[in-house]
Amino acid sequence: MSKKLLLKDAHIEGIRYFETYRKQGGYTAAEKALKMTPDEILEEVKASGLRGRGGAGFPTGMKWSFLAKPEGVPRHLVVNADESEPGTFKDRYLMEFLPHLLIEGMLISSYCLGSNVSYIYIRGEYSWIPDILEEAIEEAKAAGFLGKNIMGTGFDCEIYVQRGGGAYICGEETALLESLEGKRGNPRLKPPFPAVKGLWERPTVVNNVESIAAIVPIIDITGAEYAKIGVGRSTGTKLISACGNINRPGVYEIDMTITVEEFIYSDEYCGGIANGKKLKACIPGGSSVPIVPANLLLRTVNGEPRYMNYESLADGGFATGTMMGSGGFIVLDEDQCIVEHTMTLARFYNHESCGQCTPCREGTGWMYKILKKIEKGEGKMEDIDLLWDIQRKIEGNTICPLGDAAAWPVAAAIRHFRDEFEWHIKNPELSQTQNYGLANY
Ligand code: SF4
Q: Report which of 63, 93, 323 is spatially closest to residue 204, judged by C-alpha positions.
A: 63
Cis amide leading into 293 (omega within 30) = no
Measured in angstroms, how far is the CA atom of residue 64 from the centroid of ligand 1?
26
Torsion, Cα of 228, 256, 107, 222 (10° steps): -10
CA 360 to centroid of ligand 1, rounded, Å: 6
Give the pLDDT of residue 300. 86
Is 400:430 a contact under the CB 8 Å cutoff? no
**pTM for this prediction:** 0.95
Question: If you measure from the C-alpha of residue 31 to the centroid of ligand 1, how many angstroms do you get, rounded to a whole number?
Answer: 42
Residue 410: φ, ψ to 5°: -70, -45
Q: Which of 168, 172, 186, 353 most suits a substitution to test ligand 1, by most atoms within 8 Å of the C-beta?
A: 353
pLDDT, tens only, 167-215: 999 999 999 999 999 999 999 999 999 999 999 999 999 999 999 999 9
What is the reported pLDDT for 431? 74
**Whether the Cβ atoms of residue 113 and residue 67 lie closer than 8 Å to each other:** yes
Radius of gyration of the chain (CA): 22
Distance 79 CA to ligand 1 centre (A): 22
User: From CA 22, how far away is CA 16, in angstroms rounded?
Assistant: 10
Pocket of ligand 1 (CB under 6 A): 169, 187, 353-357, 360-361, 398-400, 402-403
Pocket test for ligand 1, best of 177, 352, 357 (most atoms within 8 A of CB): 357
- The verdict on ipTM greater than 0.90 is yes
Alpha-carbon separation of residue 393 from 21, 85, 433 (angstroms)? 50, 23, 33
| Ligand 1 atom closest to Cα of residue 352 | 7
**In this structure, how many other beta carbons lie within 10 angstroms of the beta carbon of residue 355?**
11
What count of Cα atoms within 13 Å lies in the side-chain half-sphere of residue 15?
20
Ordered mean pLDDT values, 10 residues apiece, the chain (441 residues): 90 97 98 97 97 92 95 96 95 97 98 98 96 98 97 96 95 97 96 96 98 98 95 94 97 94 96 96 93 91 89 84 91 94 96 96 97 94 97 95 95 95 89 67 52
238-244 and 328-333 beta bridge pairing? parallel
**CB 169 within 8 Å of CB 160:** no
| Ligand 1 atom index nearest CA of 360 | 2
- Give the pLDDT of residue 319: 77
Task: Map residue 293 onto helix, strand or coil.
Answer: strand
From 168, 170, 394, 399, mutation site for ligand 1 pocket: most ligand atoms within 8 A of C-beta: 399
CA of 355 from ligand 1 middle (Å) equals 6
